Amino acid sequence: MPHVVLLRSLHPDATAALEAEPGFTVETLHDTSRENMARAMATADAIIVRATPINADFLSFSPKLAIVARHGVGYDQVDVPELTKRGIPLTVTADANALSVAEHAMMLMLNIARGTQAYDANTRALKWSNTDAPVTWDLSGMTLLVVGFGRIGGRVSRLAAAFGMDVLVCDPNVPMNTVKGAGFRYAKTLAEGLAQADWVTMHCPSNAENRGMVNAEFLAGMKPGSRFINTARGTLVQEAPLAAALGNGHIGAAGLDVFWDEPMSQDNPLLKAPNVVMTPHSAAATQQGLRRMGLSCVDSIVRHFKGEIDMDMVINKEVIRSNR
């Protein structure tokens, strides 16, 4: 009888689906203190996790754990080698949040382009029409560099094209013909793309190869006055150089949903940088997105115990092959 522990609550439809599975029991932890987690994990066969670090310490009090289902696509907080060593698969919700995050990236672009924050403040202060009006732009005709052409990057590319943007893609893991076949231009190098782009949007994972890739050199390679969007992972961006580039005007504006340290602390230099629109890692948190992610996690867990797991959702696939 698999016992599933939810580290934070799920969308009600997902919880109901899991509770309706014959033989499954469900426990939701709202208090994720180490003491409380250790108590719950003593009998847990599976977990659904959002932000809780899953590392050697966590696994030391999880003797029965057979699968970790990540509520999202990023897994920076999960020690994958440690899971693999113990024969525990990690799944993600590969398709569930793509639409929500892509729309959020477009929302940040539109807010910046159309001066929403300034116009809202002016209207509330009864400053009508052109009084202290911000400078605004159409997205149509501008060049957007999409860094990472996966599920989310692909959706952003299509949405941006629908707005009339010239979409340029940089992803060394995607063949040029795939990008061109989708109707977009291909940047052979990152430097080539940065030099052309009016907007740069990040849609790649943060790993050993690209952690901190948005550094002073990256930013210097962007066109003067261009804008930067990040709804991927906060650890892609070195925040002090970005704040400096915003401060001196080389980067015209930034829209950010993710940060190096989360929750953000008061000493984050971006809090004092000009022309920044920030949201608290909420891009995927639409009602539809939360429902899709929750149901995807439930599907992975149920299928795992039936021996029918979807390999497209598994990060450490070698565990499944070894177990079989």
> For residue 187, what pLDDT is reported?
98
> For residue 109, what pLDDT is reported?
98
Is residue 107 located within the same domain as residue 210? yes
Is residue 133 located within the same domain as residue 270? yes
Tell me which of 104, 203, 233, 292 is the catalytic residue. 233
Tell me which of 203, 281, 292, 304 is the catalytic residue. 281
> For residue 324, what pLDDT is reported?
62
Domain range for 32 is 3-96+287-323
User: Residue 232 in contact with residue 203, Cβ under 8 Å?
Assistant: yes
Is residue 200 located within the same domain as residue 117? yes
Is residue 251 located within the same domain as residue 319? no
Residue 262 catalytic? yes
Is residue 193 located within the same domain as residue 271? yes
Is residue 309 located within the same domain as residue 217? no
Residue 281 catalytic? yes
Is residue 125 located within the same domain as residue 272? yes
Instruction: Give CA separation, 40 vs 45, 47, 53, in Å.
Output: 10, 10, 16
Is residue 214 located within the same domain as residue 294? no
> What would the mean pLDDT of 101-108 be, rounded to a whole number?
98
Is residue 301 located within the same domain as residue 273? no
Give the whole-angstrom CA distance, residue 142 versus residue 247. 23
Is residue 57 located within the same domain as residue 131? no
User: What's the whole-model pTM score?
Assistant: 0.93
- Judge whether residue 323 has pLDDT over 80: no
Give the whole-angstrom CA distance, residue 322 versus residue 324. 5
Is residue 177 located within the same domain as residue 201? yes
Is residue 176 located within the same domain as residue 67? no
- Judge whether residue 257 has pLDDT over 70: yes
Looking at the structure of the chain, the number of domains it has is: 2
| Residues 131-143 pLDDT 10s | 899 999 999 999 9
| Residues 167-197 pLDDT 10s | 999 999 999 999 999 999 999 999 999 999 9
Amino acid at 310: D
The enclosing domain of 15 has a CATH number of 3.40.50.720
> For residue 223, what pLDDT is reported?
98
Tell me which of 82, 103, 192, 262 is the catalytic residue. 262
User: Residue 96 in contact with residue 119, Cβ under 8 Å?
Assistant: no
